[in-house]
């Protein structure tokens, strides 16, 4: 199969328009039209991960963190980072990164973290991209109406409206604007393009708000100290940092944002969170969090490695659905640069 097939399916799940400004998500290195046979799924692209990919014969690396956060002004191989680029190119390995688009996607990174914490009644934390809604009026052959309706509602979560029959062949659905093009392409697979038609009308209400981070409730309240220990267990870390004025404070409502989320702590407070789980909290920001009375648990940036399991599961599911001839492998390496002693 071609790399583009996997990339295209993934971007239906986490489209690049969800990424934040200046974030280099997407194709990093290689030709998306190249054939792939084995994909290595990883959090980070580091020299040891590239070595792992070469050893197992992977021709694609799918990562959460971009391998190229900043442009290279030269390719001096005395620099380990640039030497790594050379290794990737020499072995014809394609590298794709899904960063803040995966963070913001429904069912993506921050939902995985919220699920791991056991949060309930979960909603978005930091507002991001807003997807507009449209009304799609579909005219199809009578014998295809049921099949097309089922496809739109099951595959694209379209809201089926009351039938507006015209000789029994026409109906309307509400769906997100970005789903129109792939939905039309999907219908064309089982209904000849010349035998059906559709019109699109923007809706003034509706749509969908994508968000970075999540906020929700613990099933049972626990003290701040107990919650920190819960985070340590859930994310399997040997140590973490707790920012807290009152370790015995009762925690019920929790916000979580994978990665470096310290700058969004005010959003956690506005959402009513008593505790905020995020990584890379800076010293002075921690003082501000304390002054605001917010309990913060910093289990590190590496908790996002949860993506390796979940992305691998997603890819294998799509592989079975589309009969992809490719092997999906999760990296076995721990790329956390920190060790607690």
- Residue 65 annotated as binding site: yes
- Residue 103 annotated as binding site: yes
3-state secondary structure of 220: strand
Sign of the CA dihedral with 150 first, then 156, 159, and 163 last:
negative
Token pair 């990164």 is found at: 97
- Alpha-carbon span 80 to 99, nearest angstrom: 23
Buried b (16+ CB within 10 A) or exposed e, 117-134: bebeebebbbebbebebb
The CA distances from residue 54 to 88, 229, 278, 280, in Å, are: 9, 38, 33, 31
The secondary structure element, H or E, covering residue 109 is helix 109-117
Query: In the β-sheet with 170-176, what is the strand arrangement from edge to edge?
Result: 159-160, 170-176, 133-139, 197-202
Q: Of the candidates 16, 213, 5, which has an alpha carbon nearest to the alpha carbon of residue 97?
A: 16
Sort residue 168 into left (φ over 0), alpha (ψ -120 to 50) or beta: left
- Alpha-carbon span 78 to 136, nearest angstrom: 56
- Alpha-carbon span 14 to 104, nearest angstrom: 8
Could you tell me the two tokens for 1? 């199969």
CB count within 10 Å of CB 22 equals 7
Buried b (16+ CB within 10 A) or exposed e, 234-247: bbebeebebbbeee
Token pair 């190119």 is found at: 89
Sort residue 326 into left (φ over 0), alpha (ψ -120 to 50) or beta: beta
**Which residues are annotated as part of the binding site?**
64-65, 103, 301, 304
Annotated binding site for a divalent metal cation: 64-65, 103, 301, 304
């Amino acid at each position: 199969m071609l790399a583009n097939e996997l990339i295209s399916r993934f971007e239906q799940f986490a489209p690049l328009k969800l990424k934040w400004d200046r974030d280099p998500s997407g194709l990093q290195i290689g030709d998306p039209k190249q054939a792939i046979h084995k994909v290595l799924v990883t959090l980070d692209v580091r020299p040891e991960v590239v070595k792992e990919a070469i050893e197992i014969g992977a021709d694609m690396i799918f990562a959460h963190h971009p391998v190229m956060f900043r442009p290279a002004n030269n390719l001096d191989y005395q620099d380990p980072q640039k030497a790594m680029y050379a290794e990737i190119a020499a072995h014809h390995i394609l590298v794709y990164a899904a960063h803040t688009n995966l963070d913001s996607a429904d069912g993506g990174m921050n939902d995985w973290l919220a699920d791991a914490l056991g949060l309930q009644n979960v909603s978005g934390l930091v507002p991001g991209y807003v997807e507009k809604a449209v009304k799609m009026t579909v005219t199809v052959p009578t014998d295809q109406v049921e099949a097309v309706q089922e496809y739109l509602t099951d595959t694209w979560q379209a809201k089926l409206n009351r039938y507006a029959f015209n000789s029994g062949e026409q109906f309307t659905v509400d769906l997100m604007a970005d789903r129109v093009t792939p939905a039309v392409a999907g219908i064309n697979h089982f209904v000849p393009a010349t035998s059906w038609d559709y019109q699109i009308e923007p809706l003034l209400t509706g749509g969908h708000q994508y968000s970075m981070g999540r906020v929700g409730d613990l099933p049972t309240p626990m003290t701040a100290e107990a919650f920190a220990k819960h985070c340590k267990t859930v994310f399997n870390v040997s140590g973490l940092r707790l920012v807290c004025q009152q370790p015995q404070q009762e925690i019920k409502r929790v916000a979580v944002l994978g990665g470096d989320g310290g700058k969004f702590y005010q959003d956690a407070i506005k959402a009513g969170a008593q505790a905020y789980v995020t990584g890379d909290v800076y010293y002075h920001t921690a003082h501000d969090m304390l002054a605001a009375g917010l309990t913060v648990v910093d289990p590190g940036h590496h908790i996002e490695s949860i993506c390796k399991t979940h992305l691998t599961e997603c890819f294998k599911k799509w592989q079975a659905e589309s009969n992809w001839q490719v092997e999906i492998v999760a990296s076995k390496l721990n790329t956390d640069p920190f060790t607690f002693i």
